[in-house]
Amino acid sequence: MVLPALNEAATVGGIVTAIRPLTTSACGRLVDEIVVMDSGSTDRTCAAAAEAGARVFRRDDVLPTVDVRPGKGEVLWRSLAATTGDVVVFIDADLIGFEADFVPALLGPLLTEADPMLVKGFYRRPLGPDTGTADGDGGGRVTEILVRPLLAQLRPELGGVIQPIGGEYAARREFLASASFAPGYGVDIGLLLDAHERYGLPGLAQVNLGARRHRNRDLPELGVMSGHVLSAVLDRAGPEPGTDGADSLTQFVQVGGEWLPREHRVPRADRPPMRALRNPSPAGRGGEPGWAGQHDPATS
């Protein structure tokens, strides 16, 4: 169990406290260890995590002979050297009102089925208080504005993944130990793309975790996150010349508690340059424009 953290003193202790019962025999000892990987916090994150019962590592405590780089991807990568389990669960440390049910839900497909190598959680993303108003599902802005359209064009097979850059997921160590970890915020989408490339759709699973509340970021922070994500996607799934993407975009809406896909057509055909037209008909005069190079019976 790994929680990457950067200045999350307000929330990390509560998450560790919620997970700790899963380390006891009374709960079947579903979790062997809770590790908080600190990414350079300047607040009480490390102290709060330790007081709640986690093993805490600062990023330069693990693999001390390897130069330290900033970002989430770095601490997730180093966490593999600080943990021993055959299955690793990642939970972001900024979640508010965290429920320990996330953990068995994420582990379920890996413990009961042979094919999945990576299990992604999906959830509602309230933006601010979950009041049932218009902002009750306004989170996940980078997903909707950037990631989903990108995947539709570059890896359309992943159009059914509801939260492709969500930070709550579980994976088998055999996959994680053999995968490269993208830097910064690109790590989550990078692992999804790598697992899909290696194992196909049978190697992926997703589970409904209900709702995820966390500290929402401002637009400049989301811009930085988008840059990290874009870099990771293009490094792994950048288009080859002449590659065609999907002609539709899948979004998801909740109807009666179910997640239902909603398809949108994505127009792909460009209009040609106007000067490629031969004798275009002015507006209102009728007739069809001729194309440069089109066979004209009158000149045959």
* 151 Cβ contact partners less than 8 Å away, ≥ 6 residues apart: 158, 159, 161, 164, 233
Region 4-10: mean pLDDT is: 97
Three-class secondary structure of residue 283 per DSSP = coil
Block residue for tokens 């996607």: 233
State how far the Cα of 50 lies from the Cα of 35, in Å rounded to an integer. Answer: 10
Region 163-172: mean pLDDT is: 96
Looking at the chain, the whole-number percentage of residues with pLDDT higher than 90 is: 65
- How many helical (H) and strand (E) elements, i.e. helices and strands, does the chain have? 9, 11
Domains and CATH numbers, the chain: 2-265 (3.90.550.10)
Mean pLDDT, the chain, whole residue set: 85
Block residue for tokens 């709702």: 211
pLDDT digits (tens, 9 = 90+) for 109-162: 999 999 999 999 999 877 654 444 444 455 688 999 999 999 999 999 999 999
pLDDT digits (tens, 9 = 90+) for 64-78: 999 999 999 999 999
* Tokens standing for residue 76: 């997730």
290-291 and 2-5 beta bridge pairing: unpaired
DSSP 8-state assignment for residue 67: P
* pLDDT confidence tier of residue 257, bands split at 50, 70 and 90: confident
DSSP secondary structure string, 136-198? GG---HHIIIIIHHHHHHH-GGGTT-S-TT-S-EEEEHHHHTTS---SGGGHHHHHHHHHHHH
State how far the Cα of 54 lies from the Cα of 50, in Å rounded to an integer. Answer: 5
Least trusted range by pLDDT, from 150-154, 165-169, 179-183, 250-254 = 250-254
Give the residues across from 249 on adjacent strands: 264
Residue 44 scores a pLDDT above 70 = yes
